[in-house]
Structure 1
Amino acid sequence: MGTKTSDIEPPRLGEPYLLTPGPLTTSYAVKEAMLRDWGSWDNEFREMTHKMRTQLLALLGPGKSEYDCVPIQGSGSYCVEAMLGSFVPKDGKVLVLANGAYGLRAAQTMECLGRAYKLLNKGDYLPPRGDEVAAILAEDPAITHVLIIHCETSSGILNPVEEIADVVHAAGRKVLIDSMSAFGAVPLDVERTKYTAMVSSANKCIEGVPGFGFVIARTDELEAAKGNSHSLSLDVYAQWAAMEKTGQWRFTPPTHVVAAFLVALDAHEKEGSVAGRGARYARNRDVMVEGMRDLGFETLLADRWLSPIIVTFFCPASPAFDFHKFYELMRDRGFIIYPGKLTVVDSFRIGCIGQMDEHVMRKVVAAAAQALAEMGVNDASPPQAALDERKKLAA
């Protein structure tokens, strides 16, 4: 059952909508869940942790019996480092597929870990494709794992996970997935991709608040990860083993965040789980992109690569346009947008996730139109050089 308009709550107390890839706008019920305290060793909180792990595994579908869920304190980047440090043995090598800031951050993480890696950097516009991954794997037998960014939010690109996973498995290597901003709204079928491990975060498509992420991994891979980790606190095997034995987190858990996340998980299920949540986000994207294009804005990406998570737009070429002024004008109208993270051209991003529906997105477009008018921008089209660069790289 899909979400009705009445299910979407406006922000409270004059809060703006967060048009970002997380943290995002949460429901009042999620916020309210944080108004009491829990003892981290108490049976009630242990039961909360168990319920959370079970509900997350339920999102995997029929293949879930081969997997387990391990929550990890900290932001999404903590979980990515935990995954890389725990599942890649010290003599392993990772092919990092990058087309934005988060793939490059993963490569930086491998550098800090002191473990071997190869970087395929596709720039800002294009996804890595199966044939080029297959070629790299054929040339380099030392590669043991391939890291795929599910949704690269620096550009908004949705990468072809299944296509890449197919060639990785055909080459006898293992798949790791950073699904930080996609899990819960974009399908990730474990029977189809059969990944070794995947990471996501509480404050993304499940619509919880920041404070922890989680690793979902094959149970046999969790067992094999013993002794791999470079870190005490980011050791996924040790966290899993402790939870299996005692039901407790090894170190102080974000109790209030877990309580809020359980409320968010219940709402996610009520909305129709992954399909229902993804449908709302996709509609948000479609309505917003159509409206922004009507104003003259251009998306960085072709339609086939646009994710339902966040969309990157070129900044207008007009000398009257100033992003910082545009940001403040949008904020004054109740919307916090996101600056761009591209290396080649000026851009900004508008998120589609959180407690928002298509009616909110129409208001976003109206606010953008008003902001352009106030700045005296009559044409929101990007510089021709930006369009030429996109065309050249997409050729």
Structure 2
Amino acid sequence: MSSAPLPRRLLLTPGPLSVASATRAAMLTDYGSREESFLALTGSIRSRLEALAGAGDSHVCVPIQGSGTFAVEATLGTLLRPTDMLLILANGVYGRRMAEICRRLGRPHQVMEFPETEPVSAKALDDALAASPHMTHVSVVWCETTSGILNPLDDIAHVAAARGKKLIVDAISAFGALPLDLSTLPAEAVVGSANKCLEGVPGLAFVLADKATLSAAAGNCPSLSLDLHDQWTGFTKTGQWRFTPPTHVIAALDQALITLEAEGGPAARLLRYSRNRDRLVEAMTRLGFEPLLPLSLQSPIIVSFHMPSAPDFCFSTFYHLLEKRQVVIYPGKLTQGETFRMGCIGDLDIADMERAVAMVAEVLGTMKREKIKC
């Protein structure tokens, strides 16, 4: 007698995510990287991502193989010259990762640190730029998933523009849900990824870069494979990828974009994610877990919770017992304080969040009843 099938796995993470069955099914078709149907697929994805961002004629979409970090490194390596100076606004791991990239690339930079539980201050940025006119660029992580906090992108962008500085935005965890319009937002480059709010699968990232800046960036990048200018030039001339593309991942993103449009676009997706977050926070709070951030600062992407102070609570046991019940969460990444994280994005709705929290309650009961320790 066969056992009952396991319930669908719920990935409550910032990506990879639970994806729709149609997105997975799209990967069953094999494509050659030079065939016309695949080149048309690439061109369509680029155009649709530009449209999602309100790129108009000013910005162009350049996809690149790899995770979002690959695209961040490609952006910093290509658009920054050795004579430029980047001010990195950091209130989490991913802002600090930009600094590590610049250090390895030999790009001059300074880091302006903010507490991980506070948003970046546009006023502090303005003061810093007034005192440091030699800065040429500013960078910020829009949704810093270290904590789940949202940074005030519009305010930061307009301060940078007023001071004559170019802005680079890590929108990896926000693109596809949070509103973005490059016709009004002054940004030189915005970085996104297929496997976050677009609900594709890992292996593809992209940059929406100012066309004039990109045109002038020939020869800047010290990397062959991460040269954003050369990648764009290849698409412009032939429509082809310079190196082997992740064909199945691109097919999945094509379907994911169709699904996004059918849902009602980023606004509808943001509403679903916000409802997921609200239900998650409400239910976890009832179980005794304390959110790290107040709701006013909390993104709809991922929520950090304080680790329970009870001496018999063991996170590794908690994590693995949830995983056995097909619910996958994330450890914390804060440099101060013990936390864990639960994502609200992906092919999830309120019923999925309720199922996940029900499994949390069941695991807590099991740990207490059986006195399970690490």
Normalising to structure 2: TM-score of the pair? Answer: 0.95
| 1:1-395 correspondence to structure 2 within 5 Å | 14-61=7-54, 63-376=55-368
Contact kept? 1:176, 1:195, Cα under 8 Å? yes
Task: Mark the CA change 1:341 to 1:109 in structure 2 (over 3 Å): closer, same or farther.
Answer: same
1:349 offset after TM fit, Å? 0.2
1:14 offset after TM fit, Å? 4.6
CA distance in 1, matches of 2:312, 2:363: 11
Q: Which runs of 4+ in 1 moved over 3 A?
A: 12-15
CA distance in 1, matches of 2:61, 2:203: 16
Contact kept? 2:10, 2:352, Cα under 8 Å? no
CA distance in 1, matches of 2:23, 2:167: 33
1:64 offset after TM fit, Å? 2.2
Larger proportion of helix: 1
CA distance in 2, matches of 1:373, 1:162: 45
1:65 offset after TM fit, Å? 2.3
Secondary structure in 2 matching 1:119: strand
Structure 1 unaligned residues grouped into runs of 5+: 1-11, 378-395
Contact kept? 1:95, 1:118, Cα under 8 Å? yes
The amino acid of 2:295's aligned partner reads D
Structure 2 unaligned residues grouped into runs of 5+: 370-374
The amino acid of 1:50's aligned partner reads G
Between the aligned residues of both structures, percent identity stands at: 48
Contact kept? 1:162, 1:192, Cα under 8 Å? no
Secondary structure in 2 matching 1:193: coil
Task: Mark the CA change 1:174 to 1:15 in structure 2 (over 3 Å): closer, same or farther.
Answer: same
Normalising to structure 1: TM-score of the pair? Answer: 0.90
The amino acid of 1:39's aligned partner reads G
1:339 offset after TM fit, Å? 0.3
CA distance in 1, matches of 2:365, 2:77: 50
- Number of residue pairs aligned between Structure 1 and Structure 2: 365
CA distance in 2, matches of 1:38, 1:375: 48
Contact kept? 1:185, 1:205, Cα under 8 Å? yes
Deviation by residue 1:342-371 (Cα, 9 ceiling, x = unmatched) = 111111000001110011111122111222
CA distance in 2, matches of 1:373, 1:15: 22
The root-mean-square deviation of aligned C-alpha atoms, in Å, is: 1.3
Contact kept? 2:172, 2:191, Cα under 8 Å? yes
Deviation by residue 1:225-268 (Cα, 9 ceiling, x = unmatched) = 22211111111110001100000011110011101110000000
Secondary structure in 2 matching 1:64: coil
Contact kept? 1:97, 1:120, Cα under 8 Å? yes
